[in-house]
Structure 1
């Protein structure tokens, strides 16, 4: 009886450990992205219109086609921000221009010439400070100086130069990386390629329908199409992966002594996740890991039928 008890107990714990192991494996496969804020995540996702890919009556047929293309960018534009503060606007501009000119010389070493960048004047603002009177009864606000802000916009067709530009900029106290734009110069060709792919799919859907149903088309079909693109800047999601304690004690004995709770820093992780592929008839370059621009074409073709008597 006793041996039977230990046998059943051992069997129970073995089964329990097995279930925990299976759960752990499944959890790891989802990745830490499971910690993301699902509400904000879903609200920011590009959503494909909920349209029927195929619709027909006794007098009409509408074929809908959706195609997505992942395309590497062939040109990039990086915007860097810098500021300088001095007792006068003139002095602040002089100090900033020295930094900019030296940085531009360094850009030349990277093969970036004067046609590849632009310096944009952003703002000139007063900087205020406060002073305390001798009797320490009056706090007065006064102008401390002026702050000048400018942006340097740099274009390059070499993705590897972006990090080099940021690396060199740090030597001139340029730390603000405002944004990086992804661009394609052959937008018309991309549009035409997507139209060609969508037309092939529409033709296949039409032929498939007529194999199943004997209909006679009258008149000329009508067509509508839409062309959209999604840039990487809107496709990044974030999460913070951590587990907090079950309870927190913020006050001392009799709830009189206020206690300060010092929190550990929880790092946020950002990752790229493009437009979901569900709802598309075809996705081009879906195996390419390099982040680029997503192009979407929607095509709708309407046919009129001769009604059967």
Structure 2
């Protein structure tokens, strides 16, 4: 009995601990992940059709990446600015190309003159500031394609040695994307058939001859689109009786990866997400127009008139034939 009691306490306590593990994202910006959209929508369609819907989600690990670094160089002359930026890029690429399975590309972005202000001093007049040429500014981007995500840290170390710090973005690619899409279509097809069969059993009728309409679509979410920001800090309050200058420190803004939750899908491929992944959403909808039951029409009984002649013969009168009026 004691063992059972302690087991119950352990389960209760462990579930309490899991519920408390939310992270600093909820410190300043509380998130209502579990409270929103927690009611199942079972409203009937306005036109009376039966709508069969299946939604699927697939988490695909990337097999190739492209990192883009921005390089900016200024100089007094065009020759100087070109030599300086080429030196920085060449030294970096020579070290990066030694890594296994790496491809590089340098993209020309802009080459523009730079200006500065020069003060013109005049007696008995205010200073006048004139804009004058100060040199040139050259910008290029370095594209690095690689397959091992751990190599990104090595690239950053190499580039920072040549004063290249600006990581613009990292793109994710997968060669299995089309294969996964086909797999999602097959899974959705089976689930649609299963739901239709279930509806037929519940209603006691068949939809074989019913009019049907169908539509489907995909959504692909890449990691660069799925990052959110938040600030986590404990601010202090001041009750000042007199006016005073208050200097506040700048607060650090943190980014974190927020994938699409898998709670609203009929099936999920690779449900556990450890690292940023490519997420594919697929939905198929079928609208079934139910056959309206026609009311049974009452049989019309035609009246028959029989004439008895003076001789006792029976003759049937034709009431549909119009008689001439004399």
TM-score above 0.5, yes or no: yes
Normalised by the length of structure 2, the TM-score is: 0.73
Query: Is the 2:68–2:144 Cα contact (8 Å) retained in structure 1?
Result: yes
Aligned pairs for 1:1-309 (under 5 A) are 28-37=20-29, 60-112=49-101, 116-133=103-120, 137-216=127-206, 217-218=208-209, 221-247=212-238, 249=240, 255=243, 259-309=244-294
What SS does the corresponding residue of 1:66 show, helix, strand or coil? strand
Q: CA RMSD in A?
A: 3.2
Q: How many residue pairs were aligned? A: 271
Give CA deviations for 1:116-155 in whole Å, capped at 9, x if unaligned.
Answer: 2221111112222233346684433321110100001111
Query: Is the 2:28–2:233 Cα contact (8 Å) retained in structure 1?
Result: no
Query: What is the CA distance between 1:51 and its match in structure 2?
Result: 10
Query: Is the 1:54–1:63 Cα contact (8 Å) retained in structure 2?
Result: no
Query: Is the 2:101–2:147 Cα contact (8 Å) retained in structure 1?
Result: no
What SS does the corresponding residue of 1:70 show, helix, strand or coil? strand
Aligned equivalents of 2:54, 2:138: Cα separation in 1: 52
Query: Is the 1:58–1:305 Cα contact (8 Å) retained in structure 2?
Result: no
Could you list the runs of 5+ residues in structure 2 that have no partner in the other structure?
1-15, 295-326
Distance 1:194 1:146, change over 3 A: same
Deviates further, 89-98 or 141-150? 89-98
Query: What is the CA distance between 1:302 and its match in structure 2?
Result: 3.0
Query: Is the 1:59–1:306 Cα contact (8 Å) retained in structure 2?
Result: no
Query: Is the 1:58–1:307 Cα contact (8 Å) retained in structure 2?
Result: no
Higher helix share: 1
Give CA deviations for 1:91-115 in whole Å, capped at 9, x if unaligned.
Answer: 21121112211211111111255xx
Distance 1:60 1:140, change over 3 A: closer
Could you list the runs of 5+ residues in structure 1 that have no partner in the other structure?
1-23
Structure with higher RCO (Cα < 8 A, 6+ apart): 1
